[in-house]
């Protein structure tokens, strides 16, 4: 055996990095079972997630860390309490519009260019268990491989066009792609509210469940996915997200640039 082959034979990759990042985030609680099912529960102070610049920063980093940890075999994304993500923004009243400088927007732009690609680069099946209304960044759970919702779930983009901002940080890609171009544009322009039943008819949601059955169903599906060999799971996730990752590469940075330009101070 050559020296090179011997080195390859005896190389041991480090054990799971989970303990290094699982408690790092204030807006994400993480729990992983012994079979590799990682549940990421989004929240603000133990209640429903209130989208913020902190959540924006933490989601980008968390998805990167989760994707680098090969001991994460299935991912479940869920929220806290009676809503998945908020708060709703009143029409034309987003607090950050017309408030940015280039220096202020630059880290937001960087995080935005990586947040959704990091999610899509996780090479493990992703299940969304949407526990209630998602009125801020619904594109995050809707990018999952399997999407579960409750009877009380609805989808709406209150923060972007309706709130006075360009929907350039992924909504402009995801919603027209999932709903079809005409319906997607209507959703973005009008602030349309899509209830769970309609979302299922449109193909955004796979199953609608009572709230008390939502996570149990997600775990049941995770157990079914785990019956396949790890490489089958990882490579299936890779191949079914390839188109999405390609579209993000071409359009996400451009959309974020236009969103930022429209957010700059007038004087």
Annotated catalytic sites, by residue? 139
For residue 53 the two structure tokens come to 């610049």
E strands in the chain: 28-32, 37-42, 49-50, 74-78, 85-86, 126-130, 146-150, 154-155, 194-195, 207-209
Distance between CA atoms of 262 and 267, rounded to whole angstroms? 13
Distance between CA atoms of 87 and 163, rounded to whole angstroms? 12
189: left (phi over 0), alpha (psi -120 to 50) or beta: alpha
């Amino acid at each position: 055996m050559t020296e090179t082959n011997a080195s390859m034979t005896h190389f041991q990759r480090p054990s799971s990095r989970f303990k290094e990042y699982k408690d790092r985030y204030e807006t994400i609680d993480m729990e992983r079972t012994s079979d590799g099912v990682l549940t990421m529960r989004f929240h603000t102070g133990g209640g429903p997630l209130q989208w913020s610049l902190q959540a924006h920063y933490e989601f980008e980093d968390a998805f990167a860390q989760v994707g680098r940890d090969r001991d994460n075999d299935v991912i479940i994304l869920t929220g806290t309490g009676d809503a998945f993500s908020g708060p709703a923004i009143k029409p034309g009243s987003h607090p950050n519009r017309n408030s940015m400088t280039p220096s202020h927007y630059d880290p937001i732009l960087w995080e935005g260019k990586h947040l959704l690609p990091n999610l899509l680069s996780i090479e493990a099946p992703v299940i969304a268990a949407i526990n209630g209304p998602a009125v801020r960044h619904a594109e995050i759970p809707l990018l999952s491989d399997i999407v579960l919702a409750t009877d009380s779930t609805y989808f709406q983009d209150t923060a972007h066009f309706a709130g006075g901002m360009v929907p350039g940080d992924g909504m402009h890609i995801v919603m027209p792609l999932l709903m079809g171009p005409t319906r997607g544009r209507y959703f973005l322009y009008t602030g349309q509210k899509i209830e769970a039943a309609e979302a299922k008819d449109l193909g955004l949601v796979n199953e609608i469940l009572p709230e008390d059955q939502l996570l149990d169903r997600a775990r049941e599906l995770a157990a079914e996915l785990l019956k396949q060999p790890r490489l089958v799971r990882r490579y299936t996730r890779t191949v079914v997200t390839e188109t999405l990752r390609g579209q993000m590469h071409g359009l996400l940075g451009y959309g974020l640039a236009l969103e930022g330009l429209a957010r700059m101070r007038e004087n």
